[in-house]
């Protein structure tokens, strides 16, 4: 019963006291009203908190790439504010975000990404009872301008194909264009991941989650032709052109596409634009958003909606069809 009373008092004082004052109040209440007294915020360091936080995130299945980005962002904040995380206030974080934006001339999207990562960290501290209330709770999502991101046109895709002098590059472009897979998923593919009879392959997506994705007849033909030219024993689906035939890296794919883009006179070509292009084509042709979500391997449907740019002409046609 004492614990419920303590929690009720703390909830009522949330708007009046900061975290450090709430922690002191909680200590006092537990000492006087409960035999279950425990204060996890005593004698903790930022290093201990970070170690426990990232251990929890790994357990949740976060990728090492994401964890590295999270660590860099959180450590930068802690170094700048120079306080134990449990003592940081909302005003401290607001000042940090404002100064960061001014010093780095950062976009609103970048600042909101930082806010989102800090929110994850401080919410964990709150959930684990290191603090009573997350100081990020009162820092709302930053409104950003939604830009219509470009996709490849049919003509641009054909130009890219026409400028491929290597069968490997042609197979790579067709696989990206027809599956919409991430570049990290592409370079992680092995030969035995490809099922030519069903025109499908198993990719390892974010959070080490496997999913099946599908390719078209053109990609099947060029992939088969490419593999027939291979004389190495590397299990990787795509390898470098020079010996030793090592697995192609993300950087290798990006460099290859960039060269092809300038050769085809369509500017900077990068892998992720193929993914966005596939999403847009799928939506325009009537694929249900839930199926597109599964195809792209998105955890949340909101992410899928960001990828899919519905063409205005289709909106016009839909209006005439359904409204008149």
* 2 and 51 co-located in one domain: no
* 182 and 197 co-located in one domain: yes
Q: Decide if 109 is inside a domain.
A: yes
Dump pLDDT digits (tens) for 68-99: 999 999 999 999 999 999 989 999 999 999 99
* Alpha carbons 19 and 299: distance in angstroms, whole number: 33
pLDDT of residue 56: 93
* 169 and 302 co-located in one domain: yes
Name which residue leads in pLDDT, 315 or 263: 263
* Alpha carbons 159 and 89: distance in angstroms, whole number: 54
Q: How many structural domains compose the chain?
A: 3
Q: Which of 122, 145, 168 is the last residue of a domain?
A: 145
309 pLDDT exceeds 70? no
Mean pLDDT of the chain: 87
* 136 and 176 co-located in one domain: no
Lowest-confidence segment of 90-94, 110-114, 295-299 by average pLDDT = 295-299
* 291 and 312 co-located in one domain: yes
110 pLDDT exceeds 70? yes
* 25 and 75 co-located in one domain: no
pLDDT of residue 62: 81
* 130 and 197 co-located in one domain: no
Dump pLDDT digits (tens) for 199-236: 999 999 887 789 999 999 999 999 999 999 999 999 99
* 117 and 166 co-located in one domain: no
* 87 and 222 co-located in one domain: no
Place of tokens 């197979």: 171
pLDDT of residue 88: 93
* 182 and 135 co-located in one domain: no
Q: Kindly indicate the confidence band of residue 1, based on its pLDDT and cuts at 50, 70 and 90.
A: very low
- Average pLDDT value for residue range 262-287: 91
- Average pLDDT value for residue range 20-38: 67
Q: Decide if 323 is inside a domain.
A: no
Q: Kindly indicate the confidence band of residue 167, based on its pLDDT and cuts at 50, 70 and 90.
A: very high
Share of the chain above pLDDT 70, in %: 89
Range of the domain at 93: 44-145
Q: Which of 77, 110, 145 is the last residue of a domain?
A: 145
pLDDT of residue 37: 46
CA distance readout (Å), 319 to 288, 306, 312: 18, 22, 11
Name which residue leads in pLDDT, 155 or 109: 155
CB distance 152 to 174 below 8 Å: no
176 pLDDT exceeds 90? yes
Dump pLDDT digits (tens) for 120-147: 999 999 998 888 889 999 898 887 666 6
* 48 and 30 co-located in one domain: no
């Amino acid at each position: 019963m004492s614990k419920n009373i303590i929690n009720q008092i703390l909830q009522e004082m949330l708007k009046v006291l900061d975290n450090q004052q709430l922690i002191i109040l909680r200590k006092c209440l537990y000492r006087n009203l409960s035999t279950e007294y425990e204060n996890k915020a005593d004698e903790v360091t930022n290093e201990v908190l970070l170690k426990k936080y990232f251990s929890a995130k790994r357990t949740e299945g976060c990728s090492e790439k994401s964890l590295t980005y999270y660590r860099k962002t959180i450590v930068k904040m802690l170094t700048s504010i120079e306080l134990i995380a449990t003592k940081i206030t909302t005003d401290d974080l607001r000042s940090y975000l404002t100064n960061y934006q001014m010093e780095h001339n950062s976009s609103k999207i970048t600042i909101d990404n930082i806010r989102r990562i800090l929110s994850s960290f401080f919410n964990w501290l709150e959930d684990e009872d290191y603090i009573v209330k997350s100081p990020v709770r009162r820092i709302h999502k930053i409104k950003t301008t939604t830009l219509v991101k470009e996709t490849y046109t049919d003509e641009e895709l054909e130009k890219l194909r026409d400028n491929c002098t290597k069968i490997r590059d042609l197979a790579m472009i067709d696989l990206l264009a027809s599956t919409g897979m991430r570049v990290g998923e592409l370079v992680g593919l092995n030969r035995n991941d490809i099922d030519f009879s069903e025109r499908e392959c198993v990719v390892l997506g974010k959070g080490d989650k496997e999913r099946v994705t599908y390719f078209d007849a053109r990609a099947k033909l060029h992939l088969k032709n490419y593999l027939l030219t291979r004389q190495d024993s590397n299990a990787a689906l795509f390898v470098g052109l020079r010996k030793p035939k090592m697995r192609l890296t993300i950087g290798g794919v990006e460099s290859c596409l960039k060269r092809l883009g300038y050769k085809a006179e369509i500017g900077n070509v990068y892998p992720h634009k193929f993914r966005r292009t596939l999403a847009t084509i799928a939506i325009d042709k009537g694929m249900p958003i839930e199926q597109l979500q599964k195809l792209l391997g998105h955890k949340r449907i909101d992410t899928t909606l960001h990828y899919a740019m519905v063409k205005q002409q289709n909106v016009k046609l839909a209006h005439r069809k359904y409204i008149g």
